[in-house]
Amino acid sequence: MFDERVWLEWLVKVRVIVLTFLLGIELAITQFTPTPLPMRAFVSSIVLWYTISVFYILLLPFWRENRVQAAVQVLTDLALATLLIQVTGGAESSLNFLYPLIIIVACILLPRAWAYLTAAFAFLLYGSMLELNYFGMIPSYTASHPEWKSLQAIIFINLFAYLMVAYLAGQLATKLRQVGVQLEDTSGALKDLRALHENIIQSISGGIVTTGLDGHITLVNEAGEKLLEHSESELVGKPIGDLFIDPLPYVSTERTHGEVRKIAANGFRKTFRVIVSTLRVADRGVLGQVYSFDDLTEIRRLEREVRMQDRLAAVGRLAAAIAHEIRNPLTSIAGSVRMLEAISSLTDEQRTLVEIVTRESERLNNIITDFLAYSRGKQYKFERVDLVPLLEDTLTLLENRLVNEERGIPVQRRFSTDNAFVLADGDKIKQVFWNFCENAVRAMPKGGTLTVSVEAIGDDWQVNFADTGPGMTPQQSEKIFEPFQSQFEGGTGLGLAIVYQIVQAHEGKVWVRSKPGQGTTFVLRLRRSHEHALAPPRAALNAAAAAGGRAHA
């Protein structure tokens, strides 16, 4: 498992660096100090070693036998080092350190036996060179000639030194191999563990966000990216508190939870349940916090719808119980007032009071009429209808009315399609459209613009009625479809409640988007109809059955 290839590549590069360093040092010495060094022989030896080193560099990518190549290079280095020591003075040469370096390299690249074998070769080459110099069999470049005993002492001292270097370098190389292998194993295990933890975090369906002690985000999983509608690169380093409208729950030592809201990219508010716990690491203490998120937007919307339906049902039962009891005496009161109004002897003040009673009686009668319309079970006639002609009819009537009343409210049409077929009761859908238009006109008493659009959203048709009025607060928007929530003078507050009933019977969706000062948009969604889809919605059948039961009762 020890990577000999890496060390071999390191050797061929370091060899060139060492040769360059030696050449530079010797040239600098000869420039400033008189020396018997034969420059031509020295430079020739360096050039020869350079040439062989370059050859090994070029051969490295093609020769895959790493151990054989390492042995050849070590033996070559021993021979060339001996040649270089010879031309730089033999026993007096300052380059004797090359032998220990080569022994150390052999310990790293080759098995441990090669360390002692390299030391033996270095001893033989060095000793042979000194003895040949002593007996004059090769040219000697030393300034002095040591005696035979001194020469033998030098040779055997170097032998001892080479063996000690081989032993120590062998021990260190063995430890280096073991540490390298252990480090590789530990690194691999750490990578596997990290990959496992990342896979677990990324596989969690809820959003996970971690922060440091300063509250800045350090990690976000894929579910968190989808919930927060930002990528991890956009979130990392940002304060987590800046992402939400509400303050996050604070955790000191225990796990806490709460709910926070966030403005989504489309302008809607999203509600999240957040659980906060401390990020604690053994021996290091608390390093930050861990936030887990769940999207509760749809659950909270359904809860609001259930509460609204409960309120609507309660109002409906109340209306059915008292509407008839109120209408009969109200009719008598209204008839009696009309008879009093015909008396000619009434003073102006009395006539004004009679007119007030008449007007308020008519207003009360309208409220009761809406009560009855709201409480009675509605009969729906479902068929495949096109929303575009229904809208055109409604908007045409509205434009004529606005012209007659001289209201400066232009109507803009933004239809992305020529046909928008749904399975619905056309008259009831027209009633929905007219209520939306009526509310938009009332919201713009000083003029404005009404924009009506139709677009396809998935399997639904979406119809938008957008005005440029003063808008509504979040509290008003939340209760807009509840009874008696009219924001306009003279309104009964039942129009949008009836709209909600009709839309629920069509198994559609209706909601409002509004901000103070930015106008209001009523949104209606109905399921797209195909040629074979001719069955009425189940909600309408249930409503009809309930109405039949009440009528029978």
Q: What is the pLDDT of residues 11-38, one digit of tens each?
A: 777 777 877 777 777 777 766 666 666 7
Q: What is the pLDDT of residues 361-386, one digit of tens each?
A: 777 777 777 666 666 656 778 899 99
234 found inside a domain: yes
CATH number of 512's domain: 3.30.565.10
What number of residues does the chain have?
A: 553
Please indicate, yes or no, whether residues 351 and 391 belong to a single structural domain of this protein.
no
Q: Backbone phi, then psi, for 465, in 5-degree steps?
A: -120, 105
Please indicate, yes or no, whether residues 357 and 411 belong to a single structural domain of this protein.
no
Pull the structure tokens for residue 191. Answer: 């990578």
Residue 259: in which H helix or E strand, if any? strand 256-263
Please indicate, yes or no, whether residues 351 and 288 belong to a single structural domain of this protein.
no
The confidence band for 4, taking pLDDT boundaries of 50, 70 and 90, is low
Of 156, 18, 10, 13, residue with least CA distance to 81: 18
- Number of helical H runs and strand E runs in the chain: 15, 12
Q: β-strand 383-386 against 411-415: which pairing, if any?
A: unpaired
Is residue 103 within 8 A of residue 165, CB to CB? The reply is: yes
Pull the structure tokens for residue 223. Answer: 């579910």
Is residue 340 within 8 A of residue 346, CB to CB? The reply is: yes
Q: Backbone phi, then psi, for 380, in 5-degree steps?
A: -110, 140
- Please tell me whether residue 448 adopts helix, strand or coil conformation: coil
Please indicate, yes or no, whether residues 414 and 349 belong to a single structural domain of this protein.
no
What is the number of structural domains in the chain? 4
Please indicate, yes or no, whether residues 226 and 160 belong to a single structural domain of this protein.
no
- Mean pLDDT in residue range 299-323: 72
The confidence band for 388, taking pLDDT boundaries of 50, 70 and 90, is very high
Can you give the pLDDT at residue 549?
40
190 found inside a domain: no
Please indicate, yes or no, whether residues 415 and 540 belong to a single structural domain of this protein.
yes
Can you give the pLDDT at residue 546?
46
HEC string of 338-350?
Answer: HHHHCCCCCCHHH
- Mean pLDDT in residue range 38-49: 79
User: CA of 264: how far to CAs of 144, 220, 271, 448, 454, in Å?
Assistant: 91, 17, 10, 28, 23
- Mean pLDDT in residue range 31-55: 76
End of a domain among 270, 295, 320? 295
CA distance 134 to 142: 10
End of a domain among 137, 156, 185? 185
Please indicate, yes or no, whether residues 407 and 506 belong to a single structural domain of this protein.
yes
Please indicate, yes or no, whether residues 368 and 516 belong to a single structural domain of this protein.
no
115 bridge partner residues: none
End of a domain among 332, 354, 375? 375
Amino acid at 48: L
301 found inside a domain: no
Q: What is the pLDDT of residues 61-116, one digit of tens each?
A: 777 777 788 788 888 888 888 888 888 777 777 777 888 888 888 887 778 788 88
In this structure, the dihedral spanned by the alpha carbons of residues 473, 475, 479 and 485, taken in order and rounded to 10 degrees, is: -70
Counting beta carbons within 10 angstroms of the beta carbon of residue 339, is it exposed (0 to 12), middle (13 to 18) or buried (19 or more)? exposed
368 found inside a domain: yes
- Mean pLDDT in residue range 524-528: 92
Is residue 146 within 8 A of residue 91, CB to CB? The reply is: yes
- Please tell me whether residue 289 adopts helix, strand or coil conformation: strand
The confidence band for 548, taking pLDDT boundaries of 50, 70 and 90, is very low
Please indicate, yes or no, whether residues 507 and 404 belong to a single structural domain of this protein.
yes
- Mean pLDDT in residue range 389-402: 90
538 found inside a domain: yes
Can you give the pLDDT at residue 330?
72
Domain that holds residue 492: 383-552
Has residue 553 got a pLDDT over 70? no
460 Cβ neighbours under 8 A, 6+ residues apart: 508, 509, 525, 526, 527, 528
